């Protein structure tokens, strides 16, 4: 009904004190811009750090753990079913690490609609021979193409080419740390001794850098065929099946299901990497806390300016009330003033926040540990913009609430009589 009129009055009051209005709006703009920048940057870092581990970790890993049999033969025997059986010195059996029926399991998992992809893996311990010294290491036999597709393998191969591990026979991609110890250049041949004592020459086709030094000193990658050859195993011999899911959150449930379905050990990513979640949560909380504090400070700025404006406009408020505007109308005028400052200040803030994010995104950031990162990471999630925008409106509403209520209670008689 009177909305247009109320808007008109609020607009005139705002424009009449353009300077003050701008100062208030700049406060909101600044805090929203910082809020967006801070959260985008912080979350970019979070994702980067999580990605270091999480991107390369399978969501569900199927494997056979070496452990003692839970059902010792004597317990299975019907003859002793009703007696107490004491078995001492239980040892892990000669259980194989190999996954039985790996072919059918892989086929079954691949057809599961929740699954993005499956990569088999074969891990083996070896010694790298450098002159008279033997250095322990691990060779991961992988399906190079699937590994590249699912776990961004190529990103971590900093020298040479990942696909060469598949295309060049008897080749290996060494961890950067390991390569430094072995003084192995690309194209060199390194000698490897398997646990069984077999010696094997392997050609270095690339360096691998995970960003975590300890890993780079022991890990290396080869194609699954090469690794099977090293171990003298047949072509269906694998020790791990790595599964990547559509939705990471489903991992525990899926792991549970596979454990029962395939009678195999299954580990989900949440269990394997619980500490990363905690770290990123705390970083996120801190950045929200700082952002909200900035907004509250801006809110107090608006509160002050509105209070001043109300003192200045006492006469106007009195005359509005005398000519028939109710307390509620006056209240709405001042709330509207406050919220327009919040709205426009916030909008500009969002734009500036985006600009700052882009600037940060373009600052060079080179570190040996993170080969794929060239600039500072930034997360442009629209969620932050939504939260920032909403918050600017809420804060300015609260900042305007009390001054507006005060204005609505101004007694016109006191003002008019006071002259």
Partner 1 sequence: MQDIILEARHINKEFHDPVTVQVLTDITFSVNKGEFVSVIGKSGCGKSTLLYILSTMDTDYEGELLIDQELMTGRSDAELARVRNEKIGFVFQFHYLLNEFTVLRNVMLPGLKLNRYSEEEVEHRAMERLKMLGIEHLAVQKAYRISGGEKQRVAIARALINDPHIIMGDEPTGNLDTKNSEHVFEIFKELAELHNQTLLIVTHDQSFAERSGRIIEMEDGRIIRH
For residue 367, what are the contacts with CB-CB under 8 A and spacing of at least 6? 373
φ, ψ dihedrals at 249, nearest 5°: -70, -15
- For partner 1, the closer of residues 15 and 363 by Cβ is 15
Cα–Cα distance for residue pair 388/45, rounded to 1 Å? 19
274-312 and 18-54 are packed helices; what angle lies between their axes, rounded to 10 degrees? 180
Cα–Cα distance for residue pair 62/104, rounded to 1 Å? 13
Nearest distance from C-beta of residue 373 to partner 1, angstroms: 54
Cα–Cα distance for residue pair 58/248, rounded to 1 Å? 10
Helix, strand, coil percentages (3-state) for the chain, rounded to 5, are 55, 15, 25
- For partner 1, the closer of residues 61 and 313 by Cβ is 313
Nearest distance from C-beta of residue 405 to partner 1, angstroms: 13
Nearest distance from C-beta of residue 331 to partner 1, angstroms: 11
Nearest distance from C-beta of residue 419 to partner 1, angstroms: 5
Q: Which of 297, 172, 290 is nearest to 223 (CA)?
A: 172
Residues forming contacts to partner 1 in the complex (CB under 8 A) are 1-2, 5, 8-9, 12-13, 15-16, 315-316, 318-329, 411-413, 416-417, 419
H-helix segments, 100-163: 102-110, 144-151, 153-156
Phi-psi region of 171 (alpha: psi -120 to 50; beta: other; left: phi over 0): beta
- For partner 1, the closer of residues 16 and 355 by Cβ is 16
Nearest distance from C-beta of residue 358 to partner 1, angstroms: 39
Nearest distance from C-beta of residue 19 to partner 1, angstroms: 14
Please say whether the beta carbons of 192 and 162 come within 8 A. no
- For partner 1, the closer of residues 199 and 328 by Cβ is 328
φ, ψ dihedrals at 353, nearest 5°: -55, -45
- For partner 1, the closer of residues 111 and 323 by Cβ is 323
Cα–Cα distance for residue pair 419/303, rounded to 1 Å? 27
Task: Classify the C-alpha dihedral 143-144-148-149 as positive or negative.
Answer: negative
- For partner 1, the closer of residues 115 and 335 by Cβ is 335
Nearest distance from C-beta of residue 390 to partner 1, angstroms: 31
251-262 and 102-110 are packed helices; what angle lies between their axes, rounded to 10 degrees? 140
Nearest distance from C-beta of residue 311 to partner 1, angstroms: 15
Cα–Cα distance for residue pair 19/120, rounded to 1 Å? 67
Task: Please tell me what DSSP assigns to residue 99.
Answer: P
Nearest distance from C-beta of residue 323 to partner 1, angstroms: 4
């Amino acid at each position: 009904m009177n909305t247009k009129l109320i808007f008109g009055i609020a607009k005139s009051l705002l424009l009449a004190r353009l300077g003050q209005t701008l100062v208030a709006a700049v406060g909101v703009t600044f805090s929203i811009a910082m809020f967006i920048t801070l959260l985008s940057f912080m979350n970019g870092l979070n994702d980067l750090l999580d990605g270091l581990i999480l991107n390369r970790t399978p969501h569900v890993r199927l494997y056979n753990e070496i452990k003692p049999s839970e059902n010792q033969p004597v317990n299975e025997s019907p003859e002793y079913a009703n007696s107490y059986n004491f078995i001492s010195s239980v040892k892990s059996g000669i259980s194989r690490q190999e996954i039985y029926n790996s072919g059918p399991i892989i086929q079954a998992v691949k057809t599961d609609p929740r699954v993005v992809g499956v990569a088999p893996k074969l891990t083996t311990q070896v010694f790298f021979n450098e002159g008279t010294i033997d250095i322990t290491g691990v060779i991961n036999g992988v399906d190079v193409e699937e590994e590249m597709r699912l776990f961004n393998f190529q990103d971590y191969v900093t020298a040479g080419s990942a696909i060469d591990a598949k295309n060049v026979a008897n080749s290996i991609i060494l961890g950067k740390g390991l390569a430094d110890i072995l003084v192995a250049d690309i194209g060199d041949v390194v000698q490897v001794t398997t646990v069984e004592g077999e010696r094997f020459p392997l050609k270095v086709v690339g360096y691998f850098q995970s960003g975590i030094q300890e890993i780079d000193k022991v890990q290396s990658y080869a194609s699954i065929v090469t690794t099977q050859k090293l171990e003298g195993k047949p072509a269906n011999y694998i020790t791990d099946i790595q599964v990547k899911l559509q939705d990471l959150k489903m991992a525990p449930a899926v792991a549970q299901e596979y454990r029962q379905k395939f009678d195999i050990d299954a580990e989900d990513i949440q269990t394997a990497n619980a500490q990363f979640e905690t770290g990123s949560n705390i970083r996120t909380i801190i950045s929200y806390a700082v952002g909200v504090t900035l907004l509250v400070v801006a809110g107090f700025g608006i509160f002050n300016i509105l209070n001043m404006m109300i003192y200045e406009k006492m006469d106007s408020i009195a005359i509005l009330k005398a000519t028939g505007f109710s307390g509620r109308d006056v209240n709405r005028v001042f709330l509207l003033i406050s919220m327009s400052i919040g709205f426009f200040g916030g909008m500009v803030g969002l734009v500036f926040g985006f600009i700052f994010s882009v600037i940060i995104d373009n600052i060079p950031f080179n570190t040996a540990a993170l080969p794929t990162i060239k600039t500072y990471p930034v997360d442009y999630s629209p969620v932050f913009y939504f939260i920032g925008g909403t918050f600017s409106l809420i804060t300015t509403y609260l900042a305007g609430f009390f001054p507006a209520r005060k204005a609505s209670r101004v007694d016109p008689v006191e003002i008019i009589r006071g002259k």
